[in-house]
Amino acid sequence: MALEMRERCEQCESAVLPPDSAARICSHECTFCVPCSDAMHDICPNCGGELVARPRRVS
């Protein structure tokens, strides 16, 4: 099962997140840009889970 590589930050909705860029995800695959994740202290606002670095895919 592969991660769903979402292309936009769920918080600001303006950050574009290509598969090879830095992003943060929780165990439910909620996806955020690094600045939004930092502002939320690496806690997912949707599920309360920890936000960690999303693995990057080389295109």
| pLDDT one digit per residue (tens) for the chain, 59 residues | 777 889 999 999 999 999 899 999 999 999 999 999 999 999 999 999 999 999 988 76
Cβ burial of 37 (10 Å; 0-12, 13-18, 19+) is buried
User: Which residues are paired to 53 by β-bridges?
Assistant: 24
- Judged by DSSP in three states, 47 sits in coil
Q: How far apart are CA 30 and CA 32, in angstroms?
A: 7
Structure tokens belonging to residue 19: 């598969």
Burial of 8 (0-12, 13-18, 19+ CB in 10 A): middle
